[in-house]
A = this chain, B = another copy of it.
Amino acid sequence: MDERIWTAALVVIGDEILSGRTQDRNVAQLATWLNVQGIRLAEVRVVADVEDAIVAAVTELGGRNDYLFTTGGIGPTHDDITVDAIARALGVGVVIHPKARAILERYYETRGGLTEARLRMARVPDGATLIENRVSGAPGIRCGNWFVMAGVPHITAGMLDALTGTLEGGRPVVSETIGGWVAESEIADILRAVEKETEGVSIGSYPFFREGRVGANFVVRATDADVARACAAELTRRLEADGREVFAGGV
């Protein structure tokens, strides 16, 4: 298990998340997508629409992860300041990307034309390339291993689709879930022991209350599918030896 682990960080930009007005969906969406690319989402920050806060977050997280993603703040209005913040963090200027301009001209041809506000969506940090947006007009932006994406989840999803298979990663993390109607506090020692005995796995314990009863699912994660399977089997054996009924796949 000495293979390289690739990591990514996400900076979610937007007062609407911090005010509670909007429920974020991009953390879970990006995390799931990254898993398939063999990249681990290592940390997330949610920051306000404040340039200094964005610059600080992307600089710190971009500096210690293989990939950096941002969501939000790339629209046409005054509160959309992500591009300026990214450019400042990278120490480059902001330019109009000719291809982005052409895309917007075409998109708005039948929608009232390309106004000055809409042209803001063609602004990119100098040296950037574009991420295709198959849903609405304005593209996402790629600056090396930094990816600047939309805040609206289904537009973000389209941009991730466009990136699928293009980012270098390691082996995807696979997981095996088992679970049952057992209080996690009753079998905590078994979880701890099995995790400690098996190299290269982590075991998460996720309790729930359902139908008036307590239960828990145990998720064994590893980059080696055989290791995950063997560990889940051993955990099942130990739980059954302790008189617990658990089910493969969880409950």
Known contacts A43-B46, A48-B42; is-contact A23 B25 (Cβ 8 Å): yes
Contact B186 A75 (CB under 8 A): no
0/1 string, A114-126, CB within 8 A of B gives 1: 0111101100000
Return chain B residues, CB-CB under 8 Å to A16.
204, 206, 219
Contact B43 A20 (CB under 8 A): no
Q: From A217, which residue of chain B is reached at the shortest CB distance?
A: B21
Contact A53 B46 (CB under 8 A): no
Which of B21, B117, B195, B221 interacts with A185 by CB under 8 Å? B117
Return chain B residues, CB-CB under 8 Å to A53.
43
* CA distance in complex: A90, B117 (Å): 48
Interface set, chain A 180-197, CB cutoff 8 A to B: 183-186, 188-189, 191-192, 195
* CA distance in complex: A188, B112 (Å): 14
0/1 string, A157-170, CB within 8 A of B gives 1: 00000000000000
Interface set, chain A 1-42, CB cutoff 8 A to B: 12, 15-25, 27-32, 34-35, 40-42
25 contacts between A and B (CB under 8 A): A15-B204, A16-B204, A17-B31, A17-B44, A18-B40, A19-B31, A19-B175, A19-B204, A19-B221, A20-B28, A21-B204, A24-B24, A42-B48, A43-B45, A43-B47, A43-B48, A75-B185, A76-B184, A78-B203, A78-B205, A79-B202, A79-B205, A112-B183, A115-B188, A118-B185
